[in-house]
C-alpha cells in the first residue's frame, strides 16, 4: 500500500504525529490493595520495572510471575514534545485487562472497564504548565478468580490445564499519545456496497461544529487518485457515499477481482481525510477500505455474490514468552503467512479480541477472520452486562476491516451453560445476536458457535470425532443437525434449523508430540507423516459432505499444554506444510 503505517496502533485511523509509550515503566504489585489509601498515584513505591505492553505473567515483561496478583500499578515519566505546544494531548491505551484508573500528575484522568477494548483520554488540563516533566500512573484490577469477567482462555486457577492458559493482567497492547486540535475527527466507518459500486463513509466530529468546517476526502487505488471530494460539515455525525466503480477507466473487469477484496485478491483503497476550518487544517487521518460483500443466499454462504468455501484454522493468538501480546508486528504477519502457506483462507480468532495490527495484515494479505469475543465462564446478570457492553465496543472498533466476515459473540455455551433449556440464558444469547445486528447489518452473526444455537445466521458445529464418524454425521442435513457432538444438541429447546449454512467450526485437534513435549490433543499420532494422513482423512470427510460449506481446523499452533497445532508453539512446522496445502486445495 502507498500509505506508510509505521506500526501505528490504529491502522485504519492513522495520524502522522504520535509518540509510542511502550517500553520501561515502573511497576508494583498491590496484593494488600493499599495503593489507594497510601496514594501511590502521588508517591509510587520504588523497586520493580516492567516492559510494556507485556503482562507481568510473561517472560518478555521482565517479571515472568504467573501467580495471582489482582491489583497492579504502573508509572512512567511523560514528556510532551515542544512542537505539540498549544495542542490538545490525547493519551491512548490499546487494551488493559481488566479495570483501569489513569492518573496524570496525581490527578484521576479516567476509568475504564473491559480487558479487550481501547480507551482514550484528553489529559491536556492535567499537564504541568511550567514545562516540567509529567507522570502517568495506572492502577489495574484484574480479579483472577472472577468467572463472570469476559476472560476467554485465561484460567481462573494459577496453573494452566486442559483448554485454559496463563492469565494476562494489565497493559497488553500499545500505549501512545498524540496531539490534537480542539475540533477533530473522532471516528470513521466504511461500509462497501459492491452491487452499487459505492463505499459509504460515516464520520463523527468531536469538539463542536462551526461555520466554515469542511472535510476533504481523497481516495486512491493502486497509487492512482480516483476520487477527490470536499463537503461542508454541519453536524457531529455525517454520512457520505462515493461510487468507486465508475471511476475506473478500464471497464473490462469492473465486476471481477480487479477491484473487489477477497483472500485471492486483497485489493485495498487508500484514503486521506482532511478536516479544515476554512484553509486551516484541523485534523488529517489516513485510512483504507476494501470492496467486499458477505451474504447468505438460499442457505449458501456467499462472498462477492459467489458461493465461497471457507477453509479456516483455529488461531488462539498466544505467543511463547508473551501470551496474548505478539512479540513483534512481524509475528502477527507471520502467523497469517504460515496459515496461507498451508492453503487456509482464513482463521477463527478463538476467544480473543485480536490486536488491530493483526487485522491490518489480514486486510493487506487477504485472510478471512471470524471476530470472536472472549467469553465469561459463568452466567449472571453482571456477566451479561459486561459481555454486552464490551462486545459493542469490539464491533465498533473493528467494523471497517474487510477481512472480518463473521461475528461470534458466544462460543460453546461458555457463560451460558444452561442455554439448552434456560429461557433467560437463551434470551441473552439471542440478544447478543440482535445487538450485533443492530450495529452491523453487513455480516452474518452466530449466537453461540458449536452447539445449542438460538437465533443464528450460520449453523456452526464443533465435532472432534474420527473421519469415518464425520462422514456419517454430515452425509445429509438431517444427520448434521441431529448428531450430538460432546453430547450437546445443535439447537437449544424452542429453536430449530432454518436452512442456515452448515460449517464445522472446530474439528481435528490431532496431537503430535515433537521432541520432549508434554501435552494433549483430541486424538494423537506418532509421526509427521501420520499427522498429514490423519489431517487428510478427516478433512476429506468434510470436503466430500454435500452439506458442509466450510470448516475450521483445530489448530494453527500448539499453546502451552495443548500440542494439537500444525505448528509448534514457537511456530516451527510439525510436518511438510506443502502436503497440508495440497489437501486444502482440493476444494
The structural domain count of the chain equals 3
Are 246 and 376 contained in the same domain? no
Residue 14 in domain: no
Are 446 and 312 contained in the same domain? yes
Question: 117 is in which domain, residue-wise?
Answer: 19-180
Q: Are 35 and 86 in contact (CB under 8 A)?
A: no
Residue 6 in domain: no
Q: Are 96 and 170 in contact (CB under 8 A)?
A: yes
Are 191 and 161 contained in the same domain? no
Residue 126 corresponds to which cell in the numbers above? Answer: 492535567
Residue 4 in domain: no
Are 274 and 345 contained in the same domain? no
Residue entry with cell 466504511: 190
Q: Output the domain CATH number for residue 88.
A: 2.60.120.260
Are 283 and 322 contained in the same domain? no
Domain boundary among 180, 215, 239: 180
Q: Are 520 and 529 in contact (CB under 8 A)?
A: no
Are 335 and 456 contained in the same domain? yes
Strand 368-372 and strand 404-408: pairing?
Answer: parallel
Are 130 and 202 contained in the same domain? no
Q: Are 444 and 406 in contact (CB under 8 A)?
A: yes
Phi/psi at 551 (nearest 5 deg)? -150, 165
Residue 3 in domain: no
Domain boundary among 254, 272, 289: 289
Are 283 and 325 contained in the same domain? no
Residue 147 in domain: yes
Residue 425 in domain: yes
pLDDT in tens for each of the 587 residues of the chain? 233 335 899 999 999 999 999 999 999 999 999 999 999 999 999 889 999 999 999 999 999 999 999 999 999 999 999 999 999 999 999 999 999 999 999 999 999 999 999 999 999 999 998 778 899 999 999 999 999 999 999 999 999 999 999 999 999 999 999 999 999 999 999 999 999 999 999 999 999 888 899 999 999 999 999 999 999 999 999 999 999 988 765 554 555 567 899 999 999 999 999 999 999 999 999 999 999 999 999 999 999 999 999 999 999 999 999 999 999 999 999 999 999 999 999 999 999 999 999 999 999 999 999 999 999 999 999 999 999 999 999 999 999 999 999 999 999 999 999 999 999 999 999 999 999 999 999 999 999 999 999 999 999 999 999 999 999 999 999 999 999 999 999 999 999 999 999 999 999 999 999 887 788 888 889 999 999 999 999 999 999 999 999 999 999 999 999 999 999 999 999 999 999 999 999 98
Phi/psi at 81 (nearest 5 deg)? -55, 140
Tell me how crowded residue 196 is: count the other CB atoms within 10 A of its CB: 12
Are 176 and 188 contained in the same domain? no
Q: Are 447 and 433 in contact (CB under 8 A)?
A: yes
Integer Cα distance of 218 and 226 in angstroms: 8
Q: Output the domain CATH number for residue 239.
A: 2.60.40.10
Domain boundary among 162, 180, 198: 180
Residues near 88 by beta carbon (within 8 Å), at least 6 away in sequence: 122, 124, 179, 180, 181, 182, 184
When computed from its CA atoms, the radius of gyration of the chain, rounded to whole angstroms, is 24
Integer Cα distance of 498 and 457 in angstroms: 9
**One-character DSSP codes across 180-226:** E-SSEEEEEEEEEETTTTEEEEEEEEES---TTEEEEEEEEETTEEE
Q: Are 529 and 576 in contact (CB under 8 A)?
A: no
Residue entry with cell 477507466: 249
Helix (H, G, I), strand (E, B) or coil at 526: coil
Phi/psi at 319 (nearest 5 deg)? -130, 135
Are 154 and 191 contained in the same domain? no
Q: Nearest-5° angle of CA 347, CA 394, CA 140?
A: 110
Residue 541 in domain: yes
Q: What is the largest CA-CA distance in the chain?
A: 75
- Provide the pLDDT for residue 250: 55
- Provide the pLDDT for residue 1: 29
Helices (H), 349-501: 356-365, 381-398, 423-439, 467-473, 477-482
Residue 461 in domain: yes
Are 176 and 302 contained in the same domain? no
Helix 356-365 vs helix 329-341: angle between axes, to the nearest 10 degrees? 40
Are 303 and 238 contained in the same domain? no
Amino acid at each position: 500500500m502507498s500509505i506508510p503505517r509505521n506500526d501505528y496502533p490504529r491502522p485504519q485511523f492513522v495520524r502522522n504525529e504520535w509518540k509510542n509509550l511502550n517500553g520501561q515503566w515502573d511497576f508494583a504489585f498491590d496484593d494488600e490493595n493499599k495503593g489507594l489509601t497510601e496514594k501511590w498515584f502521588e508517591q509510587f513505591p520504588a523497586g520493580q520495572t516492567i516492559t510494556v505492553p507485556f503482562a507481568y505473567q510473561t517472560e518478555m515483561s521482565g517479571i515472568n510471575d504467573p501467580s495471582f496478583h489482582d491489583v497492579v500499578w504502573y508509572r512512567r515519566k511523560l514528556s510532551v514534545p515542544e512542537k505539540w505546544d498549544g495542542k490538545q494531548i490525547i493519551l491512548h491505551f490499546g487494551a488493559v485487562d481488566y479495570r483501569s484508573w489513569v492518573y496524570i500528575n496525581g490527578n484521576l484522568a479516567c476509568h475504564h472497564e473491559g480487558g479487550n477494548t481501547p480507551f482514550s483520554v484528553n489529559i491536556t488540563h492535567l499537564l504541568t504548565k511550567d514545562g516540567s516533566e509529567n507522570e502517568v500512573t495506572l492502577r489495574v484490577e484484574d480479579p483472577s478468580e472472577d468467572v463472570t469477567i469476559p476472560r476467554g482462555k485465561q484460567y481462573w486457577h494459577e496453573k494452566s490445564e486442559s483448554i485454559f492458559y496463563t492469565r494476562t493482567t494489565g497493559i497488553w497492547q500499545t500505549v501512545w499519545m498524540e496531539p490534537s486540535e480542539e475540533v477533530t475527527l473522532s471516528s470513521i466507518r466504511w461500509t462497501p456496497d459492491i452491487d452499487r459500486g459505492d463505499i459509504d463513509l460515516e464520520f463523527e466530529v468531536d469538539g463542536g461544529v462551526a461555520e466554515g468546517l469542511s472535510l476533504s476526502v481523497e481516495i486512491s487505488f493502486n497509487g492512482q487518485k480516483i476520487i477527490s471530494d470536499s463537503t461542508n460539515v454541519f453536524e457531529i455525525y455525517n454520512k457520505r457515499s462515493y461510487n468507486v466503480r465508475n471511476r475506473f477507466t478500464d471497464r473490462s473487469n469492473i465486476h471481477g477481482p480487479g477491484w473487489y477484496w477477497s483472500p485471492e485478491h486483497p485489493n485495498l483503497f487508500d484514503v486521506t481525510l482532511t478536516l479544515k476550518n476554512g484553509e486551516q487544517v484541523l485534523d488529517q487521518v489516513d485510512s483504507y477500505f476494501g470492496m467486499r460483500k458477505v451474504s447468505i443466499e438460499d442457505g449458501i454462504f456467499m462472498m462477492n455474490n459467489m458461493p465461497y468455501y471457507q477453509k479456516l484454522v483455529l488461531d488462539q493468538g498466544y505467543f511463547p514468552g508473551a501470551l496474548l501480546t505478539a512479540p513483534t508486528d512481524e509475528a502477527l504477519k507471520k502467523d497469517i503467512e504460515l496459515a496461507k502457506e498451508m492453503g487456509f483462507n482464513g482463521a477463527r480468532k478463538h476467544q480473543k479480541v485480536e490486536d488491530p495490527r493483526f487485522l491490518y495484515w489480514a486486510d493487506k494479505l487477504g485472510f478471512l477472520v471470524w471476530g470472536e469475543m472472549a467469553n465469561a465462564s459463568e452466567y449472571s446478570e453482571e456477566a451479561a452486562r459486561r459481555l454486552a457492553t464490551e462486545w459493542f465496543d469490539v464491533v465498533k472498533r473493528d467494523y471497517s476491516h474487510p477481512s472480518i466476515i463473521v461475528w461470534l459473540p458466544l462460543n460453546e455455551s461458555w457463560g451460558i451453560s444452561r442455554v439448552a433449556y434456560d429461557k433467560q440464558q437463551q434470551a441473552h444469547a439471542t440478544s447478543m445476536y440482535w445487538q450485533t445486528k443492530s450495529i452491523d447489518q453487513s455480516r452474518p452473526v452466530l449466537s453461540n458457535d458449536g452447539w445449542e444455537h438460538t437465533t443464528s445466521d450460520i449453523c456452526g458445529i464443533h465435532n472432534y470425532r474420527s473421519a469415518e464418524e464425520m462422514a456419517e454425521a454430515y452425509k445429509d442435513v438431517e444427520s448434521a443437525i441431529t448428531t450430538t457432538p460432546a453430547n450437546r444438541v445443535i439447537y437449544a429447546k424452542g429453536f430449530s434449523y432454518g436452512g442456515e449454512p452448515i460449517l464445522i467450526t472446530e474439528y481435528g485437534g490431532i496431537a503430535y508430540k515433537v521432541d520432549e513435549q508434554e501435552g494433549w490433543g483430541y486424538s494423537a499420532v506418532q509421526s509427521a507423516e501420520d499427522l498429514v494422513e490423519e489431517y487428510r482423512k478427516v478433512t476429506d470427510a468434510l470436503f466430500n459432505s454435500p452439506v458442509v460449506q466450510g470448516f475450521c481446523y483445530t489448530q494453527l499452533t500448539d499453546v502451552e499444554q495443548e500440542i494439537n497445532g500444525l505448528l509448534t508453539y514457537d511456530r516451527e512446522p510439525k510436518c511438510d506444510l506443502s502436503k497440508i496445502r495440497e489437501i486444502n486445495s482440493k476444494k
